[in-house]
Structure formats: C-alpha cells, structure tokens
Amino acid sequence: MFTSVVNKNYPNLVFLHGWGGCWQSWYPILELLKKYFNLYALDLPGFGQEPIQIPYHLDNYADFVVQYLQSHKIKNPILIGHSFGGAIISKIAADKLIPLSKIILVDAAPIRHSVTSSQKIISLVTKPFKNIFSLPLLNKLYSPVKKILYKSLNLNDSGYSDLNNSVLKKTFTTVIREDLSSILPQIHIPTLIIWGENDTATPLADGQKTHDLIPNSQFVVFAKASHFSYLDQPDQFVTEVRNFIKL
C-alpha cells in the first residue's frame, strides 16, 4: 500500500492497478502527482502483498475497495483505475456503492467479449497437448508451445497462462466473463477515459464503446501509446488528470 497525504483539503486520488500488477505499477505517476494531491495506491487481493484465499468475483473486488476507502476515511475520492482496476471502478460507480467525486478509467476493461470460436478451438487443442507434454523431456516445451499457439490465433491469454495460483486462475475465469456494458449508463459522475491508440489488450474500440455508454464522459486517446498508456506518456497523463480535476 502507498499513502501520501499533503493537505487534508486537497483532493483524494485512489489508484487501482491492472491484472497482474501491484501498487508500484503507478509509482512514476505517484511521484509526479504527490505535490498536488493526497494519494493512495493499494494492492488488490491476489497481487502484490495482498493475499487472496477464495476465488473472487468483480463484486468482491468492489467491496474490498469500498472497505479500504471506509477504513481509511477517504471522503469523496477520485478513483483512477488501469485495465482490471478500471473495471472495478466502473462497478463501484455504476452500483453507487460509495460516494465518489470523479473517476478516471485508463485502458479499462469493463467491456468483455463472448468466447470466440478460436478460443473454443484452442481449448480443445491444448488439452490433449497438455497430456503429451507432461511426459519426461517434453514437459518444459508445453508452456512455450502453448504461447506460440495462442499468439498464432491472436488470443490474449497471458493473464491466465502466467498464473501459478489456482485461486487466481478461478478468479480470472470468472472476472473475464463479467461484462459491464449494461450498467455503464448508470454512471452519472464526471468520468475521464484515457486510452492508448495501439492498445491490443483492451482495443481502442472498447474505449470508444465505454465512452459512448457513460453519459457525458470525456475521451482522450494517446497517440502511439500501448495498453500502459500512462507509462508510455506519463507527462501527458499527469496533464490530463490535473486538467480534469481542474488544478
């Protein structure tokens, strides 16, 4: 966890990292903003120093964040979330679980797509291959061969295949199916959406759809930036955040 309180009258910014990250994922941005805001960054269950005991749904992660805000007495926060963190924030804001001042979604993942035929094929193909590659001398080849196969079908499986924790694997298979498209129109607080033009994990089309579904949201695209747009262009990111908060 990270906390930097400079003035009780300053806006409170709370940062949520993406899947596989930790609070340090935001460190360059925290350094650039620490003079202007009260900053909080936390590890989500299953990542960093925060343990996870049972498989989580998106609701569980939302409740965890709400409890964090309440226990730290953070009033009217501005939540900033990258990727999976942005999905959690979208859930909190849409369900109005706690009063929020504003939200900032960064290459967020509230939009989920149905399982494609390629994904169904890959599941059928990899299962028998797993048995074959469990044999002595072949077991070390299973992971690289699987990744090559996923890449050839343009599937983003890194979030799952790189996990060693069985609880997180079950969590992943749950949250990856939780599409929030139907509740995004229920978000009625000021919302800034920032996206990398070349994001391949959460495509730009998802950012546009998120913008279209959230009433009166602002949408900013960082040219040539990737899924980690805030790290690709930190100065531009900080400028957009400060302008949105009007400081």
User: What pLDDT, on the 0 to 100 scale, is given for residue 122?
Assistant: 45
CA-CA distance, 107 to 86, in Å (whole number)? 8
> Per the structure block, which two tokens stand in for 128?
């028998």
Q: What is the pLDDT along the chain (247 residues), one digit of tens a residue?
A: 899 998 888 999 999 999 999 999 999 999 999 999 999 999 999 999 999 999 999 999 999 999 999 999 999 999 999 999 999 999 999 999 999 999 999 999 999 987 554 444 445 544 554 554 455 655 555 456 545 444 444 444 445 445 668 899 999 999 999 999 999 999 999 999 999 999 999 999 999 999 999 999 999 999 999 999 999 999 999 999 999 998 5
User: What pLDDT, on the 0 to 100 scale, is given for residue 18?
Assistant: 96
User: What pLDDT, on the 0 to 100 scale, is given for residue 26?
Assistant: 97
Contact 25, 89 (CB under 8 A): no
CA-CA distance, 161 to 216, in Å (whole number)? 37
* Domain ranges (residues) in the chain: 2-112+178-245, 117-164
User: What pLDDT, on the 0 to 100 scale, is given for residue 125?
Assistant: 46
Tell me the CATH number for domain 2-112+178-245.
3.40.50.1820
The helix or strand, by DSSP H or E, that contains position 220, with its residue range, turns out to be strand 218-222
CA-CA distance, 159 to 180, in Å (whole number)? 19
Buried b (16+ CB within 10 A) or exposed e, 32-67: bbeebbbbbbbbbbbbbeeebeebbebebbbbbbee
User: What pLDDT, on the 0 to 100 scale, is given for residue 11?
Assistant: 96
